[in-house]
Chain A
Amino acid sequence: MVEAMRKLRADAESYQGWWSWLTTVDHKRIGVMYGVTAFSFFLLGGVEALLIRLQLSTSNGQVLDPDAYNRLFTMHGTTMIFLVVMPLSAAFFNLLIPLLIGARDVAFPRLNAFSFWVFLAGGLFMNASFFTGGIFQGKLGAPDAGWFGYAPLSLVSTGQGIDFWAFGLLILGIASMAAGFNFIVTIFNMRAPGMTLLRMPVFVWMTLVTSFLIIFAMPIITVALFELLFDRLYGANFFNMAAGGKPLLWQHMFWLFGHPEVYILILPAMGIVSEVLPTFSRKPLFGYQFVIFSGLAIAFMSWGVWAHHMYTTGLGTIANSAFAVSTMLIAVPTGIKIFSWIATLWGGSINLKTPLYFSVGFISMFVIGGLTGVMHTVVPSDYQQQDTYFVVAHFHQVLFGGAMFGLFAGIYYWFPKFTGRLLHEGWGKLHFWLMFIGFNLTFQPMMILGLLGMPRRIYSYGSGTGWDFLNMLATAGAFLIGLSILVFMINVVVSLRRKERAGADPWDGRTLEWSLPSPVPPYNFAEIPTVRARDDFWHQKYAEDEEGRPVPIVAGGAYQAEEEEGEEEAETGHGIHMPSPSFWPLIAAIGLPIMAAGFIYQESANLLPMIAIGAVITIVGIYGWALEPASE
């Protein structure tokens, strides 16, 4: 057995080069690819944001023409939601879930690889739309109907931008669904012995809840997108008023998906913060059950609040009131979480490291986002705020101030686990302060601008409006955020070149991943652990004195012993079966954008062969996948 493990380790070392990345089914490598890809899209979406802010920095801005402006804000929103926050969360699911539950990989490693390749294909396909409008004549392609693509605006939009957008989202939906199924099965079925549901780390719970939201919300937007495409490409009438169709159906379906989607974006960040805070307060999470059950409550209630996006569409007083009440109620479980986090910090022995900075930043900014959200639930108030910059400020407060701060907390926290190097603290804190100040400088002025009446989605405003100064502040803040991201990238480069190794447990962590060497070996656990408590690893390291204070278990305790004896112990266990690498998921993914392009251009050229080629590639990929053995 020891021989077998040595061989496995040698295999892992020889398993390098670009081909190994294309065929990998290792959840950690897939997680890294998810993260790097999503971060690249983050830079792209960020540049789009900066262009928008440049245009709006002064009245009568001349940087962008109205057409380019529409396309840029559409792509900015779409990119940040579907190509940044969702896949960054997926990166953490991939990296961490098997480690946190004590498994060697996810339940379906090749489905996991497929999910990543489909995501990459969808992201590239979506962004390929930029080149469809005659880029060489200086005209941008890309969708121009907003990330919500309201009908009938999305129907009358000319060019192929919206088609690329809709097919792009369909492809990305496949990626999310595949990941959603995979992580639910993994969390239910792959838990180590003793890892009961109520011993699972909160991040695992939030991943489970998010995955359920994904698999139930995605089909709705899938149907809506198909309906939109049938209308656009084949003259169907779903949203065609002349034939009796109701454009409002789109809004319902979009927000039926769209509001659960908001929680799909924020719950993973909440999970990350729930892991970071206990570690850096050296205290268990306050009210573990409450945090979990409020997460479940949020997920459940998120299905009953969609129409608060639609107060001004004339739903009627009863519907508006009902949705106002349900939306106010959803603030209750959210508030429970916030109190739990604060109570976790309270009385802890605080270890003020960068991950904690970002977590506290998350809490404070998310509270503002949540409270402004509650302001929107009040129908008459919402009538005033609808389509103003107040709304823009609100959801950036949640999605950037919330989700992105939480995700950065996770990056700083787990970076050493997967690279073997800590991110540099000095650069990290500089990154935090620049981002925190830049963020507030960008979005607090937008709150005021919105209340002053500045509408969203306008490419320019007149000089007599009095909005110049606040807009200039917001633009300055946006560039400060840009600078902070630059600092982060420098930090990554500098830190990766550091000689100093992080060690297995640099933060004195509580959960299973910190019991493993950094970086984690391909098979994760030499021996599948048996879990005896929540925060199991912490209890291996510390006992409690009479007053409940942690007392280190002296050398030779459980933790030390396990690391040294790992290989010998494996002798008594059963063999390690690692899934074999496979290129079939990649092949299956490649066919999808080819098919989509065939459908879009079928009108102008007879592209049935192209659709057929795409379909054949995907089918060949799936058959190859089904027929090859999963592990040797």
Chain B
Amino acid sequence: MSHAPAALETTATGIDNRKLLMWLFLASETLLFGSLIAAYLLYRGQSVVGPYPEELFDIPFTSVSAFVLLMSSVTMVLALAAIQRGDQRGLRIWLFTTALLGMLFISGQAFEFTEFNREGLSLSSNLFGTTFFVLTGFHGAHVTVGVLVLLSLLVMALRGRLTRSQSMNVELVGLYWHFVDVVWIAIFTLVYLIQP
């Protein structure tokens, strides 16, 4: 998150440079996840050998982790609301909670991956393994990056270097975080709940 020099001047459209950059990035990310989801849908139910998704998926477990990520979006936006009214304590609490929920989600995914692996699913075992691990892996990588950035923000906040005037930093990270969350909303439905 760079401190763009343009923040010194207002822009021709009145839109913040960095916010526009983030939205452009997210718009292009729709094509990235679109491509990954398309590959999953193309090969849905096409695996010639097992293990198959219906044997592996643990819907209650995944529902909990989907819920965790969803709630992290709520805490993220509360962190933004906190910094916008200058509530430093609230900012720290909600940033911390969001990062924690994010880490919880990642741990859940790590557990799920190892569990599936133990039951014989790997990147090379069949089309399901290939498309599932790559799609959810890409998403997990995005969450991981988000957690790292959230922790960086938290450190800045704890050292008093994230003031009300820098709320844009939190807003930008928030946009990224919510986007990663909505991608999971799509994955949770298309991959887990709708089975062939």
Instruction: Answer yes or no: A and B touching, Cβ < 8 Å.
Output: yes
**Which residue of chain A lies nearest to B134 when distances are taken between CB atoms in the complex?**
A230
State in angstroms the CA–CA spacing of A245 and B127 once bound together.
Answer: 7
Cβ of A630 and Cβ of B35 under 8 Å apart?
Answer: no
Binary contact track B21-37/A, C-beta < 8 Å → 1, others 0: 10011011101100110
- Give chain B nearest CB distance to A327 CB in angstroms: 22
Q: A108-B17, A246-B42 are in contact. Are A230 and B12 (CB under 8 A)?
A: no
Our pick among B2, B12, B25, B126 for the contact of A243 (Cβ within 8 Å) is: B126
Residue B130 at the A interface, CB < 8 A? yes
**Which residue of chain B lies nearest to A102 when distances are taken between CB atoms in the complex?**
B12
**Which residue of chain A lies nearest to B11 when distances are taken between CB atoms in the complex?**
A189
Question: Which of B43-51, B94-102, B104-112 forms contacts with chain A?
Answer: B43-51
State in angstroms the CA–CA spacing of A36 and B66 once bound together.
Answer: 50
Residue B124 at the A interface, CB < 8 A? yes
Cβ of B12 and Cβ of A195 under 8 Å apart?
Answer: yes
**Which residue of chain A lies nearest to B17 when distances are taken between CB atoms in the complex?**
A107
State in angstroms the CA–CA spacing of A630 and B138 once bound together.
Answer: 31
Residue B8 at the A interface, CB < 8 A? yes
Q: A189-B6, A218-B28 are in contact. Are A243 and B35 (CB under 8 A)?
A: no
Our pick among A109, A188, A218, A245 for the contact of B12 (Cβ within 8 Å) is: A188
**Which residue of chain A lies nearest to B124 when distances are taken between CB atoms in the complex?**
A235
Query: Within A169-196, which residues are at the interface with B (CB < 8 Å)?
Result: 177, 180-182, 184-185, 188-193, 195
Cβ of A185 and Cβ of B20 under 8 Å apart?
Answer: yes
Cβ of A177 and Cβ of B28 under 8 Å apart?
Answer: yes
Question: Which of A220-228, A436-444, A479-487, A500-508 forms contacts with chain B?
Answer: A220-228
Cβ of A243 and Cβ of B48 under 8 Å apart?
Answer: yes
Residue B1 at the A interface, CB < 8 A? yes
Q: A195-B12, A577-B5, A626-B1 are in contact. Are A223 and B20 (CB under 8 A)?
A: no
**Which residue of chain A lies nearest to B6 when distances are taken between CB atoms in the complex?**
A107
Q: A236-B134, A625-B2 are in contact. Are A219 and B28 (CB under 8 A)?
A: yes
- Give chain A nearest CB distance to B64 CB in angstroms: 28
**Which residue of chain B lies nearest to A231 when distances are taken between CB atoms in the complex?**
B130
Residue B194 at the A interface, CB < 8 A? no
Q: Which chain B residues border A192 with CB–CB below 8 Å?
A: 12
Q: Which chain A residues border B118 with CB–CB below 8 Å?
A: none
Residue A238 at the B interface, CB < 8 A? yes
Cβ of B2 and Cβ of A230 under 8 Å apart?
Answer: no
State in angstroms the CA–CA spacing of A217 and B34 once bound together.
Answer: 12
State in angstroms the CA–CA spacing of A230 and B42 once bound together.
Answer: 17
**Which residue of chain A lies nearest to B19 when distances are taken between CB atoms in the complex?**
A185
**Which residue of chain A lies nearest to B122 when distances are taken between CB atoms in the complex?**
A235
Residue A253 at the B interface, CB < 8 A? yes
Q: Which chain B residues border A314 with CB–CB below 8 Å?
A: none
- Give chain B nearest CB distance to A183 CB in angstroms: 10
Cβ of B126 and Cβ of A215 under 8 Å apart?
Answer: no
Our pick among B3, B24, B25, B124 for the contact of A237 (Cβ within 8 Å) is: B124
- Give chain A nearest CB distance to B3 CB in angstroms: 5
Cβ of A220 and Cβ of B126 under 8 Å apart?
Answer: no
State in angstroms the CA–CA spacing of A626 and B11 once bound together.
Answer: 21
Q: Which chain A residues border B189 with CB–CB below 8 Å?
A: none
Q: Which chain B residues border A105 with CB–CB below 8 Å?
A: 5
**Which residue of chain A lies nearest to B169 when distances are taken between CB atoms in the complex?**
A626
Residue A244 at the B interface, CB < 8 A? yes
Binary contact track B178-191/A, C-beta < 8 Å → 1, others 0: 00000000000000
Residue A249 at the B interface, CB < 8 A? yes
Q: A110-B2, A630-B5 are in contact. Are A184 and B31 (CB under 8 A)?
A: no
Cβ of A223 and Cβ of B36 under 8 Å apart?
Answer: yes
Residue A629 at the B interface, CB < 8 A? yes
Our pick among A110, A181, A631 for the contact of B25 (Cβ within 8 Å) is: A181
Q: Which chain B residues border A219 with CB–CB below 8 Å?
A: 28-29, 31-32, 35
State in angstroms the CA–CA spacing of A244 and B124 once bound together.
Answer: 12
- Give chain A nearest CB distance to B116 CB in angstroms: 15
Residue A216 at the B interface, CB < 8 A? yes
Residue A234 at the B interface, CB < 8 A? yes
Cβ of B8 and Cβ of A188 under 8 Å apart?
Answer: no
Cβ of B39 and Cβ of A107 under 8 Å apart?
Answer: no
Cβ of B48 and Cβ of A223 under 8 Å apart?
Answer: no
State in angstroms the CA–CA spacing of A91 and B102 once bound together.
Answer: 40
Residue A5 at the B interface, CB < 8 A? no
Residue B165 at the A interface, CB < 8 A? no
State in angstroms the CA–CA spacing of A246 and B20 once bound together.
Answer: 38
Our pick among B24, B27, B35, B129 for the contact of A223 (Cβ within 8 Å) is: B35
State in angstroms the CA–CA spacing of A215 and B11 once bound together.
Answer: 22
- Give chain A nearest CB distance to B137 CB in angstroms: 9
Q: Which chain A residues border B27 with CB–CB below 8 Å?
A: 215-216
Q: A223-B36, A236-B123, A253-B35 are in contact. Are A185 and B5 (CB under 8 A)?
A: no
Our pick among B4, B15, B24, B49 for the contact of A215 (Cβ within 8 Å) is: B24
Our pick among A181, A226, A244 for the contact of B127 (Cβ within 8 Å) is: A244
Binary contact track A255-272/B, C-beta < 8 Å → 1, others 0: 000000000000000000
Q: A218-B28, A220-B31 are in contact. Are A243 and B127 (CB under 8 A)?
A: yes
Our pick among A107, A217, A220, A226 for the contact of B4 (Cβ within 8 Å) is: A107
State in angstroms the CA–CA spacing of A235 and B126 once bound together.
Answer: 10
Residue A284 at the B interface, CB < 8 A? no
Cβ of A234 and Cβ of B5 under 8 Å apart?
Answer: no
Residue A519 at the B interface, CB < 8 A? no
Interface centre among A222, A226, A244, by most B CB within 10 Å?
A244
Cβ of B35 and Cβ of A224 under 8 Å apart?
Answer: yes
Cβ of B126 and Cβ of A223 under 8 Å apart?
Answer: no
Q: A237-B124, A243-B48 are in contact. Are A107 and B21 (CB under 8 A)?
A: yes
Binary contact track A440-463/B, C-beta < 8 Å → 1, others 0: 000000000000000000000000
**Which residue of chain B lies nearest to A237 when distances are taken between CB atoms in the complex?**
B130
Q: Which chain A residues border B1 with CB–CB below 8 Å?
A: 626
Q: Which chain A residues border B12 with CB–CB below 8 Å?
A: 188-193, 195
Our pick among B11, B21, B47 for the contact of A244 (Cβ within 8 Å) is: B47
State in angstroms the CA–CA spacing of A629 and B25 once bound together.
Answer: 23
- Give chain B nearest CB distance to A97 CB in angstroms: 13
Q: Which chain B residues border A629 with CB–CB below 8 Å?
A: 3
State in angstroms the CA–CA spacing of A579 and B2 once bound together.
Answer: 12
Q: Which chain A residues border B2 with CB–CB below 8 Å?
A: 108, 110-111, 625-626, 630
Q: Which chain A residues border B6 with CB–CB below 8 Å?
A: 107, 189-190
Cβ of B28 and Cβ of A238 under 8 Å apart?
Answer: no
Query: Within A602-617, which residues are at the interface with B (CB < 8 Å)?
Result: none
**Which residue of chain B lies nearest to A221 when distances are taken between CB atoms in the complex?**
B35
Q: Which chain A residues border B130 with CB–CB below 8 Å?
A: 230, 236-238, 243, 245
Query: What would 17 A/B residue contacts be, using CB atoms closer than 8 Å?
Result: A107-B6, A107-B17, A111-B2, A184-B24, A185-B17, A189-B13, A189-B15, A215-B28, A218-B28, A220-B32, A223-B32, A236-B129, A243-B47, A243-B130, A244-B47, A626-B2, A630-B2
In the A-B complex, the 8 residue pairs with the closest CB atoms: A235-B124, A189-B11, A223-B35, A219-B32, A219-B31, A191-B12, A215-B28, A236-B130
Name 8 extra pairs, CB < 8 A, besides A190-B12, A215-B27, A577-B8.
Answer: A109-B5, A184-B20, A189-B17, A226-B138, A235-B124, A236-B130, A243-B130, A244-B46
